[in-house]
Structure 1
């Protein structure tokens, strides 16, 4: 087992720490834009931890990711109270969750996007940088005192560096976490484990042993089926297993992965560690421990199999455990028990792998022409980054949806449920009020994050928080010419890696052909792509750190 020392991590990162304000060391300072014509409705004295309230009624369009579990309602208390507190009315442009990325790309590319564009995961914003369709938000951080305060307090400068483009600026306002937050893992039928005398699996090898024992007892079943395979095949499962070997897979897949031993980037889909992930999953499929439909089936199929007792292990997060599995499972089988287990470990050791930044907000270039631009940035700073805004977005209105005692303990109103806090309550915090909405409520302090967790979830978090954080990779932003070139390579490369990964896992291609597969990647410009990545890394390190 090889673990990274703190010194190796620092050397590997090139000791890059750029200033939080929009220009880093070695970067030519940008002349601040004249905001005199964009201050309508803004607060002259807006500062840290201050309630933002526009000096006149204003409104902004916002792209809204419409979640099927809590579909948009115009009469939510969230909208009413937000306007009451801030004098701002948000006008949601609703797009279904299933179509969000595609629709967002079309709107931004055509110049028709709303001013505020949330729910964007890095590096999705990079596709819009060269065209100038979105603003370099790092130029305007002086309008956002709460954002700057969180970055400084939580030492998030290296995380922001990974968002920077070749010009040293970043174009996405990320959600910020005080600490790395791990939520996605596996759910396991603990009653079946107890029946078979099995311990909670701590490693992926332990999980293999558990699945073998389940298969021996229930030979006609696949002990594990999985969800979240559409649109990314094996999205969560590949991510978790790849992490255990030191690679990136599934939802986390990116073409390049930092190799600290080499001091440069390697091509992810050709790394030995990536192959180890494939070998592990192939073994599960070959021995009929993992349902081969796991990588492509719709979520409803996966949930039906698990909830009806046709499988015993499935991907989960905290909300899925409470909303998707327990209610149905308990109706169909009152004796069934289920638990969210700590992410199994692999050869890299006890690391907590995940970012301190979340999906974030792009700002349309049209915003800079808006007379309320300064007010808009102040509003975004309050709602998404102030402690008061985060509490409001998550919990709602004190005395109506929750109470809070002198020790800071939150209690949901008795007639409202959320993540199983009040099972059977007639109302729901998300569905009926619009709070704890993934468009607005993410990031924030660990205390606020933990405030809605059950004792069971807090135990999970305690185990995960005891692990060491995985080092942040160094930035390698492409310049405009490089970005234009790699855009032509990335989709064919990723599609081929995805296609061949599934073939290897499902046994449709023999793993003895791995070297041939790597050569095929070279034929699709893998080496040229990697050369550009490492050139960009060296250039950025030289110019900025």
Structure 2
């Protein structure tokens, strides 16, 4: 998950300016004759069809090379993709640690690949003003699988949150049929059994659990967390999942715009009472020495070492890290067991935010519109990222070679010789490392059946519990004009910087929460009222167009 620091936001603003000077294309989408861009395209292509270009095609793509499964040109994925589609992808492989910066440099210089995946909204907004990226919403009629899923899964309200002032959006997101909650706490269940503590259901229960652990092990911090890199609250997972229970997008789920449905207006997240309550909860845990204060600054390796050595018993996790890391880390501790617990509930009760139905997605370079194969490229994108068959291929590979059965009737099984996450953990081959399938660049989104196909029985039980929760309404759209966005980006950077700094101080007890009003006044001095005013002006304008 990627969120922008102040430095990244300022760099993004600079990128937009450079892109503007570069002027990637003079083409007006409304005047483009697509009949001249159909080389290699299929006639009558519709949802459910196998896309295959009518002539061999090659498209460049920016490829995030994941540290866990670095890019290999010999992956079977590449040859099989060409066999099925008559399209060869030409990857520009970039390490994950450099991906955002490299993308900014390449897009700004006008030499980015045609396809630019692994982009998290609103990162695409930095490139809109200069015309560097395509208004993809203008061309979704060329994408029948995508359009079908948006309609059947009622995703238009979610997409409205991506829309710009011109009513268009510039990022093709991964789309989920339902809300998927993955991140939560991993807890040493053997310790719970030893202490006679029940599995916590609420954040208050978590406090009770941690207190009992502290009584039994007074020299230790029960919870010492990971995922605080870069070392700032803005990149913190614990703040994110606690914030969900209070109804705010905090930590690495940060969204500065808080929709107050009662008032019918947007507010600034970091100045809301809900944010204050979330900070109060975390500060109490730290003050009681139930949470390691290093949880908000330490590296993942340090957190994992503490968990592996038995110095801590709780940390954030997802389904993959539970199996691939946490369980392996404690394997040398006699009798140690660990499990994901259902995401604890807070004041918002048994509910989940609506925003994870859209996932990281794909930008398309504006220069693609000059390509005679443009229509074929859009059909290819539609098949690989949005068709059931394309998603099945990208995630699981080839039937009879890496899997058997179907996800729709739950007969799917990963081949015994292949492992992935918690499936076939002792198999000799790895689906990602050795085959190139289940690569996060291509395999995301999809139906609930597709999602469930990757889960062990344990994770399916977790998801069944999450599916019992209600989904909160999607906030309304508030698209900004180019001028508003430029100003708001700078204002948000200054506000976010201060929120991050003071969040850490409040949580660690370096600043008392009795100074909350003074903190809000400091935010106002950094442009809070102007920023919120811009959001609400944009909302009223957008509402009038609906």
Same fold (TM over 0.5): yes
Q: Which residue is 1:26 aligned to?
A: none
Structure-2 change in CA distance of 1:136 and 1:328 (3 Å) = same
Contact 2:38 2:374 in 1 (8 A): yes
User: For 1:279-316, what per-residue CA distance to the aligned partner results, in whole angstroms no more than 9, with x for missing partners?
Assistant: 11111111111111111111111111112211111100
Is 1:313 the counterpart of 2:276? The answer is no
Q: Shift in Å at residue 199 of structure 1?
A: 0.5
Of residues 506, 509, 516, the one that matches 2:508 is 506
User: For 1:31-67, what per-residue CA distance to the aligned partner results, in whole angstroms no more than 9, with x for missing partners?
Assistant: 4631122111111221111011111111111111111
The separation in 2 between residues aligned to 1:216 and 1:429, in whole angstroms, is 44
Of residues 459, 467, 470, the one that matches 2:469 is 467
Q: Shift in Å at residue 244 of structure 1?
A: 0.9
Q: Secondary structure at the match of 1:94?
A: strand
Structure-2 change in CA distance of 1:112 and 1:198 (3 Å) = same
Q: Secondary structure at the match of 2:34?
A: coil
The separation in 2 between residues aligned to 1:173 and 1:284, in whole angstroms, is 40
Of residues 520, 539, 543, the one that matches 1:537 is 539
The range that moved more, 56-65 or 137-146, is 56-65
Contact 2:484 2:534 in 1 (8 A): yes
Q: Secondary structure at the match of 1:311?
A: coil
The separation in 2 between residues aligned to 1:246 and 1:425, in whole angstroms, is 42
Structure-2 change in CA distance of 1:480 and 1:77 (3 Å) = same
Q: Which residue is 1:272 aligned to?
A: 273
The separation in 2 between residues aligned to 1:375 and 1:290, in whole angstroms, is 53
Q: Secondary structure at the match of 2:35?
A: coil
Listed as ranges, the gaps of 5+ residues in structure 1 are: 1-28
Contact 2:183 2:316 in 1 (8 A): yes
User: For 1:431-460, what per-residue CA distance to the aligned partner results, in whole angstroms no more than 9, with x for missing partners?
Assistant: 110111111000000001101211100010
Q: Secondary structure at the match of 1:319?
A: helix
The separation in 1 between residues aligned to 2:164 and 2:77, in whole angstroms, is 35
The separation in 1 between residues aligned to 2:205 and 2:485, in whole angstroms, is 43
The separation in 2 between residues aligned to 1:224 and 1:78, in whole angstroms, is 40
Q: Which residue is 2:56 aligned to?
A: 57
Q: Shift in Å at residue 100 of structure 1?
A: 1.6
Alignment of 1:118-517 (within 5 A): 118-231=117-230, 233=233, 235-330=236-331, 332-353=332-353, 354-404=355-405, 407-517=409-519
Contact 2:173 2:359 in 1 (8 A): yes
User: For 1:489-510, what per-residue CA distance to the aligned partner results, in whole angstroms no more than 9, with x for missing partners?
Assistant: 1211111111110011111112
Contact 2:128 2:170 in 1 (8 A): yes
> TM-score, length-normalised on structure 2?
0.92
Contact 1:352 1:465 in 2 (8 A): no
Contact 2:396 2:437 in 1 (8 A): yes
User: For 1:372-410, what per-residue CA distance to the aligned partner results, in whole angstroms no more than 9, with x for missing partners?
Assistant: 111110000000000000000111011111111694511
Contact 2:203 2:345 in 1 (8 A): yes
Listed as ranges, the gaps of 5+ residues in structure 2 are: 1-27
Instruction: Say how many residue pairs are matched.
Output: 515
Q: Secondary structure at the match of 2:506?
A: helix
The separation in 2 between residues aligned to 1:65 and 1:126, in whole angstroms, is 20
The separation in 2 between residues aligned to 1:129 and 1:258, in whole angstroms, is 25
The separation in 2 between residues aligned to 1:227 and 1:327, in whole angstroms, is 16
Q: Secondary structure at the match of 1:361?
A: strand
Q: Shift in Å at residue 166 of structure 1?
A: 0.4
Contact 1:256 1:265 in 2 (8 A): yes
Contact 2:350 2:470 in 1 (8 A): yes
Contact 2:422 2:455 in 1 (8 A): no
Q: Shift in Å at residue 356 of structure 1?
A: 1.1
The separation in 2 between residues aligned to 1:71 and 1:264, in whole angstroms, is 45
Contact 2:307 2:329 in 1 (8 A): no
Contact 1:409 1:451 in 2 (8 A): no
Q: Secondary structure at the match of 1:431?
A: helix
Contact 2:70 2:433 in 1 (8 A): yes
Q: Which residue is 1:81 aligned to?
A: 80
Contact 1:222 1:310 in 2 (8 A): yes
The separation in 2 between residues aligned to 1:479 and 1:185, in whole angstroms, is 37
The separation in 1 between residues aligned to 2:60 and 2:294, in whole angstroms, is 40
Contact 1:225 1:294 in 2 (8 A): yes
The separation in 2 between residues aligned to 1:396 and 1:32, in whole angstroms, is 40
User: For 1:145-185, what per-residue CA distance to the aligned partner results, in whole angstroms no more than 9, with x for missing partners?
Assistant: 00000011111111111110000011010101000111111
Contact 1:145 1:381 in 2 (8 A): yes
Q: Secondary structure at the match of 2:47?
A: coil
Contact 2:136 2:171 in 1 (8 A): yes
The separation in 2 between residues aligned to 1:289 and 1:68, in whole angstroms, is 32
Higher helix share: 2
> TM-score, length-normalised on structure 1?
0.93
User: For 1:329-370, what per-residue CA distance to the aligned partner results, in whole angstroms no more than 9, with x for missing partners?
Assistant: 12x124111110111000111102242111110111111111
The range that moved more, 404-413 or 112-121, is 404-413
Contact 2:161 2:475 in 1 (8 A): yes
Q: Shift in Å at residue 113 of structure 1?
A: 1.2
The separation in 1 between residues aligned to 2:336 and 2:492, in whole angstroms, is 45
